[in-house]
């Protein structure tokens, strides 16, 4: 995962905090869908996050290591997940965290007006369309609220589940990298890169060209 771009972040918070000082702690962005609440991660989520992040079917597919303890998860929440534009996915039915979704800048999304979408979900919840549902709302937020021009999304070769999510969302294939470094796992993999532009998103959702 890349780190958030500070310029975009600061402009965004400056606008949201206008006239009231720095209220970023008091007014976190919360998004909502039919079945989900998307809200910032806090260290109190460590236990529930660890429940799913300790499963070897989750992190390695997305390029990160299996979490080793609740304390390890707490540290990762503090240092990686608790940033602007990364959301804890809460199932309304239970009120508990089940995964993560977010937008970030990295080598793929370097410009201020583009970000990459990333996500993961606890195994017991796979196959219910929850991440596509969350991603639809995050894409709306990206194009409408943040004013992004392009959202990238990528998956490692063989990750058919993530490939399928990106197809269902309407991302368009761009290119394949034969050898992408996966720094947290100390290896390289083949990676496939997809893109959605604001025009494509608008056309898909309103049937109108931009």
| Binding site residues, ligand COA, CB under 6 A | 58, 61-62, 119-121, 126-132, 155, 159, 161-162, 164-165
Nearest residue (CB) to ligand COA, 84 versus 131: 131
* Beta-sheet strand order (sheet of 96-104): 31-32, 36-40, 86-91, 96-104, 114-121, 150-156, 187-197, 172-182
Smallest distance, ligand COA to C-beta of residue 105, A = 16
Nearest residue (CB) to ligand COA, 34 versus 206: 34
Nearest residue (CB) to ligand COA, 151 versus 165: 165
Smallest distance, ligand COA to C-beta of residue 86, A = 14
Nearest residue (CB) to ligand COA, 100 versus 200: 100
The strand pairing partners of 99, in sequence order, are 89, 121
Q: How far apart are CA 46 and CA 68, in angstroms?
A: 12
Residue nearest to ligand COA (CB): 127
φ, ψ (nearest 5 deg) of residue 84: -60, 140
Smallest distance, ligand COA to C-beta of residue 131, A = 3
Smallest distance, ligand COA to C-beta of residue 101, A = 8
Those residues with Cβ within 8 angstroms of residue 194's Cβ, 6 or more apart along the chain or in another chain: 152, 153, 154, 155, 166, 171, 172, 173, 174
Task: Retrieve residue 89's tokens.
Answer: 């996915």
């Amino acid at each position: 995962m890349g780190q958030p771009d500070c310029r975009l972040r600061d402009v965004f918070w400056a606008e949201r905090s206008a006239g009231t000082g720095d209220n970023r702690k008091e007014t976190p962005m919360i998004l909502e869908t039919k079945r989900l609440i998307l809200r910032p991660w806090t260290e109190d989520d460590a236990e529930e996050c660890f429940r799913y992040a300790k499963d070897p079917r989750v992190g390695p597919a997305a390029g990160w290591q299996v979490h080793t303890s609740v304390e390890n998860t707490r540290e990762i929440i503090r240092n990686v997940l608790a940033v602007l534009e990364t959301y804890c996915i809460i199932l309304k039915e239970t009120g508990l965290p089940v995964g993560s979704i977010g937008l970030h800048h990295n080598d793929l999304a370097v410009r201020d007006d583009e970000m990459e979408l990333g996500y993961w979900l606890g195994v017991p919840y796979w196959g219910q369309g929850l991440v596509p549902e969350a991603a639809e709302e995050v894409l709306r937020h990206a194009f409408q609220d943040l004013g992004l021009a392009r959202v990238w999304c990528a998956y490692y070769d063989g990750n058919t589940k993530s490939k399928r999510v990106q197809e269902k969302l309407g991302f368009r294939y761009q290119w394949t990298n034969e050898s992408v470094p996966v720094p947290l796992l100390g290896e390289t993999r083949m990676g496939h890169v997809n893109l959605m532009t604001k025009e494509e998103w608008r056309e898909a959702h309103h049937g109108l060209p931009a």
